[in-house]
């Protein structure tokens, strides 16, 4: 009986490994084409790439803003963004959505190939008031940097 159990478990592991391997081999450009920020907010989303050494958002910015506003609204944070851009603070890159006296920031991960930019939505830091015009209230690990002076900084965590 133990041999039969071992055989069944072994077959299940082999099938699972084959499935994972086949999914991992998917062409990277096809993976980028399938990401739609309106459909689902995942822990990471392809947002752009380095072009001539500069970080550039290559997805539809209006769709990105809409998905971001919806995400925050579901967390009882109201925001009306007018722009989204990639900004560098120190040695780190962040994708930043801005509106009237509001700023929301997510860390940017540079993919292993060194060109693709991934928006990490695990931690989103949203600031208002004077803090929204500063380089404060940005994700650092699982926290947000504190605001100096007036304004608020709210952290939202997604899985």
Q: What is the pTM of this model?
A: 0.71
CA distance 57 to 47: 6
Percent of the chain with pLDDT over 70: 72
| 3-state secondary structure (DSSP) of residue 60 | coil
Whether residue 44 has pLDDT greater than 70: no
In-domain check, residue 124: yes
Whether residue 47 has pLDDT greater than 60: yes
Give the count of domains, the chain.
1
In-domain check, residue 116: yes
In-domain check, residue 7: no
- What is the pLDDT averaged over residues 79-88? 95
In-domain check, residue 68: yes
pLDDT band at 2; cut points 50, 70, 90: low
In-domain check, residue 138: yes
Determine the structural domain holding residue 131 and report its residue range.
35-157
In-domain check, residue 145: yes
- Please state the three-class secondary structure of 92-150 as a single string: EEEEEEEECCEEEEEEEEECCCCCEEEEEEEEEEEEEHHHHHCCCCCEECCEECCCCCC
């Amino acid at each position: 009986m133990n041999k039969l159990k071992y055989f069944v478990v072994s077959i299940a592991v082999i099938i699972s490994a084959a499935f994972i391997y086949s999914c991992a081999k998917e062409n990277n450009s096809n993976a980028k084409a399938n990401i739609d920020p309106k459909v689902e907010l995942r822990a990471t989303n392809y947002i752009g790439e380095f072009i001539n050494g500069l970080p550039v958002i290559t997805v539809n910015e209006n769709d990105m803003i809409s998905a971001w506003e919806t995400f925050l609204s579901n967390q009882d944070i109201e925001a009306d963004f007018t722009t989204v851009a990639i900004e560098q603070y120190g040695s780190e890159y962040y994708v930043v959505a801005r509106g009237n006296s509001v700023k929301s920031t997510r860390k940017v991960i540079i993919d292993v190939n060194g060109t693709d930019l991934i928006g990490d939505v695990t931690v989103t830091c949203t600031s208002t008031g004077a803090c929204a015009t500063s380089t404060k209230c940005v994700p650092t690990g699982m926290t947000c940097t504190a605001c100096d002076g007036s304004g608020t900084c709210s952290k939202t965590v997604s899985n």
